[in-house]
Structure 1
Amino acid sequence: MWSHSASRFLLVGALSYLFDLGVLVVLHGLLGVPLAVATTLAFGSTLLLNFGLNRAFAFRSTGLAGPAFVRYLALVVVNYVLTLLMVTGFAALGVSYVVAKTGATAVNAVLNYVAYRWWVFRA
């Protein structure tokens, strides 16, 4: 099951999502941090965990980490904008921020797998 990068990517994604969502719920749901700020902090706190696990485990990259991290950060900017727009936009329409975050994560997952496989972690 773990022989294909897609299955490993999904596992890393699930772990990253749970971590990210947990931070979001604690910050916004329990501590009352404004949603946009909590979303930003949760998203940012997951960066290094996600990069490291995807590089080492999901894509088993042997390329230089520095250039891959620069490409990863460029993709993170795209992910951040999409996440912030989707979470705050759908929440403003009355959708639960947890549901909105889940939708944003699904959209980003599809985009990220293609970008990681063919651009970020290329050998």
Structure 2
Amino acid sequence: MRDSLRSFIIFGLVGIVNTGVDIGVFALLTWWQLPWLAAQVIAYGCGVMNSFLMNRKWTFRQQGAFTKGLLRFILLNLLTLGVTSACMMFLHEQLGVLLWVSKGAATVLGVVLNFIGSRWWVFRAEPRSLEEVMVREQTGGEI
């Protein structure tokens, strides 16, 4: 439980940096008159790469299996990108919510989806021994 709390706090701090990257790139691209959806995809992609590298090293302290983790992270974030873009489209274009309010709501949703997917799928620690597998089964995955 303590490890999950530590991971969530660091994930949140990394997320602040990623959100800054995302919003900064989004603001720059929309200021340059790029359509908002294209700006969203590019900005989100910049945040994703930063997120993978920082979360891999500091949040989940994962070593090895770089390519497998990166592919899973990309798949998770493509799913999250689709959900957050649909959220923005619904809020902004269907309900008339201000673009930046829509972006904020989509960002909050994206944080929740990414933490769950990162913790339990992308950066999941693989058991190293039969004893560790048995302990994981008995404790519901926590060691």
Identify the residue that residue 128 of structure 2 maps to in structure 1: none
> Deviation digits for residues 8-62 of structure 1, max 9, x if unmatched?
000011110011011111111x211111111111111222111000110111112
User: Which one of the candidate residues 4, 10, 16 is aligned to 1:8?
Assistant: 10
Identify the residue that residue 89 of structure 1 maps to in structure 2: 90
1:105 is aligned to 2:107: yes
Identify the residue that residue 19 of structure 1 maps to in structure 2: 21
RMSD of Structure 2 on Structure 1 (CA): 1.4
Identify the residue that residue 58 of structure 1 maps to in structure 2: 59
Distance 2:64 2:98 in 1: 40
Structure 2 runs not aligned, ≥5 long: 126-143
2:124 alignment partner, SS class: coil
Distance 1:70 1:21 in 2: 24
Identify the residue that residue 116 of structure 1 maps to in structure 2: 118
2:33 alignment partner, SS class: coil
Distance 2:39 2:120 in 1: 31
Equivalent pair of 1:63/1:122 in contact (CA under 8 Å): no
Identity among equivalent pairs (%): 32
Between the two structures, name the one with larger relative contact order (CA 8 Å, sep ≥ 6). Answer: 1
Q: Which runs of 4+ in 1 moved over 4 A?
A: none
TM-score, L = length of structure 2? 0.78
TM-fit CA distance, 1:89: 2.3
Larger radius of gyration: 2
Identify the residue that residue 33 of structure 1 maps to in structure 2: 34
Distance 1:71 1:63 in 2: 14
